[in-house]
Amino acid sequence: MRSYYRLVHLRIGHLRRLGSLRLAAMLLIGCAAAAAHITIACKFVDVQPDDSKGYIQLATNLTQNGVFSNDPTPPFSPTLVRLPGYPTFLAAIYKVFGVGNELAVRVSQALIYTLTCFLGALVAANWSRQDNRRSRAGLLAFILAAFCPFVVIYAATVLTEILTTFFFVAMLLAATYAIKTRRRRRSVFWWTAAGLLGAAGVMLRPDAGLFAFGAGLTLTFSVFWGRERFLSRLGDRLLKGVIYSVAFAVLFVPWTIRNERLFGVFQPLAPAHAEMPGEFVPHGYFLWLRTWIDDSQYIEPMLWNLEVRPIKIDDIPPNAFSSEAEKQEVASLLDQYNNSDPVHPPPQAVDERSKPDAADDSSDDSDDAADETADNSDKPPDNGEWNLKISPEVDSAFEQLAQQRIGREPWRFYVLLPAKRMSTMWFDTHSDHYPFSGELFPLSDLDENIGQQYWLPLFAGLTWAYTFLLGAGLCVLMVSKAPRSRIWFLLIILVCLPRIVFFGTLENPEPRYLIELFLPAAILGGMFLSRIGIEREPGKIGLEIDLS
């Protein structure tokens, strides 16, 4: 009997030591991840993107003048072109650490991303069926998320990506707890939390509402799962759906009232094109862009530089035109746009008809002058700013061109181009904001001075690795016999797929819009890897995948 108790005591002690070692390992990995995140946040991105400057100005005015305005000088007119979530976050940091303290912003975002990885690990653990597999799934998901270079780099930028990812994963975890619990009160509490967290994400970026929309759809479709009678489940889901929707909507009430009082418009979100009420938006031109843009390399010259600098017809690829006549018409419209600055019309190449007669030995000098003038045609005037505008007539002509092309090629516009945009956004190198950022292809254009020949193939390979883990995790959920695996499969599909499809329909397919989805890839990847074990038999060794 004494030997039996000694054996039990030894086993309990072994389990405790094993648990302590696992906890110590998790803490060590967590500290290493936080240190890596802070290092990356402080080392990279010395020059912030243009969007960052707008957020910084809004936060500065909030801190110093108490008004939500993006004006750098008085009278600081209020604006609604951005939602208040991220500027308020920056203003809170500025209040504590000083206005313009970018280092404090970066460190804060690095720590928030570390916390996001812990939340993702909890999601993976809760989606795993067996107790002995949950800790492995959580740990592996944490590692995949924490050391994903695509997401962590945004801790170094004054952009919304890190906070949006945090609220997305937090909402995903709250929805998980809401689905798992069998007690109605707890479930209602977690659905309320999920609604508030989803709304907080939308206050950062309006498109984050697609995450909340997916969670709401999952709640709706969950009526088809359960042991209770259908009418009982229907009543339960209806109650929770109303509570979830109210919790989501209540956060927008103050902002909506503010916009109604100041501007006389019903605007619960930011305008789609960051325009003020009554401001002209060239929707026809944007529609024309959607008939051919399929890669992010054309976004800056054709979209972000609109009304900032001239647009050259030579910068537009051949697939943007159906015929030479259409190209000539676009060239004519762009010529009207490029000459719309009444004070500073862009310099033009020397017109052959206006050249005076000169000796043959001066022809070379004239050609050189013409070439130099043409090369400087897109440089701003002396005051550093263009005053270019697309007129309603030019915009209407672009819309007519777009409608004609859509009518001729509806399959291409509605299916092929969105599919290609989705593909290019996801299978990007996601190297933005790194010193070696750029396009992988063509390989001959890689800059060896900054190591693109090494880093960009590596990042492209990592994209494919996370894609494989995402697909493998989905397969695990599909074939698993766990009672809720189908709901988790539905949840992850419904929170991710609408976002991918939505951005595939826009004229600005920026890869950063899908950055948040690498967290679900890490969660599913951790679940898949936790099911892989080593099978040992006499004379051979192999891998075993448990799909139960």
Task: Write down the pLDDT at residue 515.
Answer: 95
Distance CA 271, CA 203 (A): 13
Angle between helices 2-43 and 131-146 (to 10 degrees): 20
Q: Can you give the pLDDT at residue 13?
A: 45
**Can you give the pLDDT at residue 7?**
39
Which amino acid appears at position 460 of this protein?
Answer: A
Distances (CA, A) of 206 to 58, 195, 244, 271, 417: 17, 15, 18, 9, 24
Question: Which residue positions in the chain have pLDDT lower than 50?
Answer: 1-18, 349-363, 366, 369-370, 373-374
Give the whole-angstrom CA distance, residue 30 versus residue 34. Answer: 6
* CA 217 and chain centroid, separation: 21
pLDDT, residue 344, reads: 67
Which pLDDT score is estimated for 225? 76
Quick one: 178 exposed, middle or buried, by C-beta within 10 A (0-12, 13-18, 19+)? Answer: buried
Q: Are 175 and 189 in contact (CB under 8 A)?
A: no
Task: Give the pLDDT confidence score for residue 141 in this predicted structure.
Answer: 95
pLDDT value of position 3? 46
Q: What is the DSSP letter of 445?
A: G
Q: What confidence score (pLDDT) does residue 539 get?
A: 55
Residue 536: helix, strand or coil by DSSP? strand
